[in-house]
Amino acid sequence: MNKRQLLQSFLAASALSFGLSPVFAQGTTPIKFQLDWRFEGPAALFLHPAAKGYFKNAGLDVTIDAGNGSGGTVTRVASGAYEMGFADLAALMEFHANNPDSPNKPVAVMMVYNNTPASVMALKKSGITKPADLAGKKLGAPVFDAGRRAFPIFAKANNVGAVNWTAMDPSLRETMLVRGDIDAITGFTFTSLLNLEARGAKAADVVILPYPDYGVKLYGNVIIASPKLIKENPAAVKAFLSAFAKGAKEVIANPAVAIESVKARDGIIDSKLETRRLQLAIDTVINSPDARAEGFGAVNAGRMALMASQVSDAFNTKTRVSPDAVWTAALLPPAAELNILKK
């Protein structure tokens, strides 16, 4: 054993004697993390544990950047620009199936949004009250919107006739609905509902058709990691997930306090509005009945397999999605650490 190896062994032993993790003992591991969207309410799930020092205490130097859609997050992790990220599982599945020869396909390592947040939203004056009413109507959403991409699954489950799509920038989606340029939109409920209110619509006048309530049991967003990081430093991934779970428990328990970590990253946000958005996300897709049944962070194998088949068909992928290739539970924290959902 040379002097360097001897010093490393001494530092590791010393760290362990003081109760520090082996990851920390071996030095801080840098991790670049890409969110799926802007610094809004749900970003507190990651920004709060970062602000509290939970990642740092786990031996990680985590940098969290805002995103512009799940597809971009998956691509950036696959490119090696980021080691980990937060993205819609359907977008990850699509990347796997359309890039079978890619050497660095990201892998989902923890379920966060147990149900997809996607829904169809319309104003009551449109006369739309149920999925069948959408036939022949003009729907709008960005081309990359998760709800729009998965709409064929929603349409098949509810026997919806043909619809007409209009594409737009995300910032115009709710504005066009309020103006009457389109009859309905797809989007994440906790994003579009509050955006509609900000544009003058009353919540009581908005019709919401959540995908999970209408037979579409797709999973939503997951934490993803590069296979390179998983192979070379699985301890770092485990440490990240453990620190995240600790922070997420606090976020769920007190969203108003957690939102301050988002405010610290983007000072112009409306804290009250973003607390509502975060609470909506918690109530609808994080602490949902399905999440409590399956356990936070985990998935049901049968449901995962069904989603893989549905995404393969709806997205018309080059190859069929392999559920075993996109997901691993091997790095999840112990069950006690994942027991964070309030009954």
pLDDT for 343: 76
Quick count: other Cβ atoms within 10 Å of Cβ 337?
17
Quick count: other Cβ atoms within 10 Å of Cβ 130?
11
Sign of the four-CA dihedral 79, 85, 87, 89 = positive
| pTM (two decimals) | 0.90
pLDDT for 237: 98
Of 11-15, 64-68, 106-110, the range with the lowest mean pLDDT is 11-15
Residues 74-127: tens digit of each pLDDT: 999 999 999 999 999 999 999 999 999 999 999 999 999 999 999 999 999 999
Q: Are strands 29-34 and 221-225 parallel, antiparallel or unpaired?
A: unpaired
Task: Identify the structural domains of the chain with CATH numbers, from first to last.
Answer: 22-115+219-338 (3.40.190.10), 118-214 (3.40.190.10)
Q: What percent of the chain has pLDDT over 70?
A: 92
List, in sequence order, every residue forming a beta bridge with 152; answer none if it has no partner: none
